[in-house]
Amino acid sequence: MAGRHDDHHRELTLLAIALAACGARPPTAAPPSEPPLRPIPNPARDIVDTRLAFDVTARTGSATITFAASAQPGATLEIGDLAIDRVDRVFAAASGMLDLALPASREPVAVTIAFRYQPHEHFTGASAAGFTMLWPYHCGNLFPCHSRPADGTTFSAVALTGVPDGKVAVYPDRIAADAPAYQLGWSIDAYSELALGTTAAGTEVTIAYRPGELAAARAGGAHLVAVFDWLEKTLGRYRFGGKVGAVSVAWPAGAFGGMEHHPRWHVAAGALARELTHAHEAAHGWFGDGIRIAYWEDFVLSEGTASYLAGRALDVVAPAVGAAAWQSYAEELAAIPGDRPVWPQSRGAIDIVADGLFQDAPYIRGAFFLRAVALKVGAAALDRALATFYAARAGMAATMRELLATIATVTGYDPSACADTWLRAATTPRPGACL
Ligand SMILES: [Zn+2]
């Protein structure tokens, strides 16, 4: 809600009230369950489902947002720089926020919004190059949303029309389990599909690649079915559908790595041949997406755990690749200044980007913390702790502190002191610290 211009907001509120008043009954005649006549800010009212339809040529969209039951009336959505064309409720839109006249209710309440969106470069929305990137808090530039990662939503329908001839849009037509808003992504390009195989649980694993990228896709996907199978068998049932895999995306030069757009995660074209990147993004299906982070400061619960699990899975299914992964982590670790935040404690005040948390430290120090625990209690015991945590928290938001408590309960080893060394200390530890 920061940055809202209250004066402008109030003007639009009054305008919406005036428009709504034309057909409204007097407030005294309305029973208590009737919608309020004016928009009421209520950013705490959670979203439970999002249905989206886009025309990617016209850059128009329709969103049906279902809000949770709430004892308090009203609701608020982030709308970035969307142009709002229609809302089927009384609303007020100003400064990137949309407030709604919704009643308090014991049942979920749906609102439908028609809008236009703008192209966004620098990873802040839908790029003119055909891909989207909403992480960390840019979902409002593409559809009305809540960007806070704790507020998961299902996407019961996603549809794209207006895809140019000769191109393919790769995206999930639904995400049936709760996801952070930034999990949704699409990419539109001249895609072909490399079918890699099926896991024991029946999950189909593929890579969508562009012309000239088949060899890179084969290299990057060499052990991806085995990695995904290990994740399913070790951590528990995958929640985001029966067909998964990587999509090679035309990120701008210099952007490397991937993004956890499950079930079709994005991998920068330059990283397509890198098995570690695929394993990392796959692991986010359990940590980061499957279990959401409660606050941005719990970033290490997503990235440290995904980095650890990528190395751990590759250790099991392709030991030489796993060893190379840990070697590359060790090289990155040696280059991390000790003062970089890994696991700050701000109760939601930290800005993931501006405060420097989106750097290597949470990934690499987080991975080595969990590896230190694995070396202490046995990797299989830590696997069981991670599986226990996933069984308890999948579909919910969780904190790193809660993971530590589960590790202590399941393994009998309290990792708090080791976590202080790896995640809090102002000196970057060396591999093996706290053994
Ligand atoms: Zn990641």
CB-CB contact of 307 with 369 (8 Å): no
Q: What is the mean pLDDT of residues 74-92?
A: 98
Query: Does the pLDDT at position 31 exceed 60?
Result: no
What's the first-to-final CA gap in the chain, in angstroms?
44
pLDDT per residue as tens digits for the range 295-353: 999 999 999 999 999 999 999 999 999 999 999 999 999 999 999 999 999 888 899 99
Q: How much distance in Å is there from the Cα of 201 to the middle of ligand 1?
A: 24
Q: How much distance in Å is there from the Cα of 265 to the middle of ligand 1?
A: 10
Confidence bin at 1 (pLDDT 50/70/90): very low
Q: How much distance in Å is there from the Cα of 256 to the middle of ligand 1?
A: 11
Burial of 105 (C-beta count, 10 Å sphere; 0-12/13-18/19+): middle
Q: How much distance in Å is there from the Cα of 370 to the middle of ligand 1?
A: 15
Please report the pLDDT score of residue 407 as a whole number: 98
CA distance 146 to 150: 9
Query: Does the pLDDT at position 16 exceed 80?
Result: no
Q: Where are the alpha helices (DSSP H) in 185-223?
A: 214-220
Please report the pLDDT score of residue 33 as a whole number: 59
Quick one: which of 350, 251, 336 has its CA closest to 297?
350
Q: How much distance in Å is there from the Cα of 164 to the middle of ligand 1?
A: 30
Q: How much distance in Å is there from the Cα of 260 to the middle of ligand 1?
A: 7
CA distance 8 to 28: 29
Q: How much distance in Å is there from the Cα of 99 to the middle of ligand 1?
A: 32
Residue 154 identity: T
Q: How much distance in Å is there from the Cα of 159 to the middle of ligand 1?
A: 26
Quick one: which of 261, 23, 318, 330 has its CA closest to 123?
261
Range scoring the smallest mean pLDDT among 36-40, 187-191, 221-225: 36-40
For residue 80, give both structure tokens.
């970035």
Query: Does the pLDDT at position 259 exceed 70?
Result: yes
Compute the mean pLDDT over every residue in the chain, rounded to the nearest whole number. Answer: 92
What angle do helix axes 360-377 and 400-411 make, rounded to 10 degrees?
A: 10
Cis geometry, peptide bond prior to residue 263 (ω within 30 degrees of 0): yes
Q: Residue 400 carries which DSSP code?
A: H
Give buried/exposed letters for 58-87 (b at 16+ CB in 10 A, else e): eebbbbbbbbbebeebbbbbbbbebeeeeb
The neighbour count for residue 233, using CB atoms within 10 Å, is 13
Range scoring the smallest mean pLDDT among 35-39, 186-190, 196-200, 230-234: 35-39
In which order are the strands placed within the sheet that holds 83-87?
A: 83-87, 109-116, 60-67, 47-55, 153-161, 175-179
Q: How much distance in Å is there from the Cα of 302 to the middle of ligand 1?
A: 7
Q: How much distance in Å is there from the Cα of 106 to the middle of ligand 1?
A: 37
Output helix, strand, coil percentages for the chain, rounded to the nearest 5.
35, 25, 40
Cross-strand bridge partners of residue 51: 64, 157
Residue predicted with more confidence, 253 or 55: 55
Query: Does the pLDDT at position 267 exceed 80?
Result: yes
Q: How much distance in Å is there from the Cα of 408 to the middle of ligand 1?
A: 25
Cβ neighbours for 227, distance < 8 A, ≥ 6 positions apart: 275, 278, 279, 282, 310, 313, 314, 317
Q: How much distance in Å is there from the Cα of 173 to the middle of ligand 1?
A: 23
For residue 339, give both structure tokens.
């003062």
Q: How much distance in Å is there from the Cα of 235 to the middle of ligand 1?
A: 17
CA distance 339 to 344: 11
Q: How much distance in Å is there from the Cα of 303 to the middle of ligand 1?
A: 5
Q: How much distance in Å is there from the Cα of 285 to the middle of ligand 1?
A: 10
Q: How much distance in Å is there from the Cα of 231 to the middle of ligand 1?
A: 15
CA distance 349 to 85: 33
Cβ neighbours for 431, distance < 8 A, ≥ 6 positions apart: 330, 333, 368, 371
Cross-strand bridge partners of residue 197: 205
Q: What is the mean pLDDT of residues 1-25?
A: 33
pLDDT per residue as tens digits for the range 396-430: 999 999 999 999 999 999 999 999 999 999 999 98
CA distance 299 to 407: 18
Q: How much distance in Å is there from the Cα of 267 to the middle of ligand 1?
A: 11
Query: Does the pLDDT at position 27 exceed 50?
Result: no
Cross-strand bridge partners of residue 83: 116
Q: How much distance in Å is there from the Cα of 16 to the middle of ligand 1?
A: 42
Q: Where are the alpha helices (DSSP H) in 177-256?
A: 214-220, 224-235
Q: How much distance in Å is there from the Cα of 200 to the middle of ligand 1?
A: 25
Could you tell me the pTM of the whole model?
Answer: 0.92
pLDDT per residue as tens digits for the range 65-82: 999 999 999 999 999 999
Q: How much distance in Å is there from the Cα of 4 to the middle of ligand 1?
A: 31
Range scoring the smallest mean pLDDT among 17-31, 146-160, 227-241: 17-31
Please report the pLDDT score of residue 348 as a whole number: 84
Q: What is the mean pLDDT of residues 107-116?
A: 98
What angle do helix axes 379-393 and 360-377 make, rounded to 10 degrees?
A: 120
Q: How much distance in Å is there from the Cα of 397 to the middle of ligand 1?
A: 16
Query: Does the pLDDT at position 364 exceed 50?
Result: yes
Q: How much distance in Å is there from the Cα of 246 to the middle of ligand 1?
A: 13
Query: Does the pLDDT at position 29 exceed 50?
Result: no
Q: How much distance in Å is there from the Cα of 86 to the middle of ligand 1?
A: 36
CA distance 105 to 98: 19
Q: How much distance in Å is there from the Cα of 40 to the middle of ligand 1?
A: 36
Please report the pLDDT score of residue 24 as a whole number: 36
CB-CB contact of 207 with 246 (8 Å): yes
Please count the helices (runs of H) and the strands (runs of E) in the chain: 10, 20
Q: How much distance in Å is there from the Cα of 88 to the middle of ligand 1?
A: 37
Q: How much distance in Å is there from the Cα of 307 to the middle of ligand 1?
A: 7
φ, ψ dihedrals at 87, nearest 5°: -140, 140
Q: How much distance in Å is there from the Cα of 165 to the middle of ligand 1?
A: 33
Task: Find tokens 């049942």 and name the residue.
Answer: 107
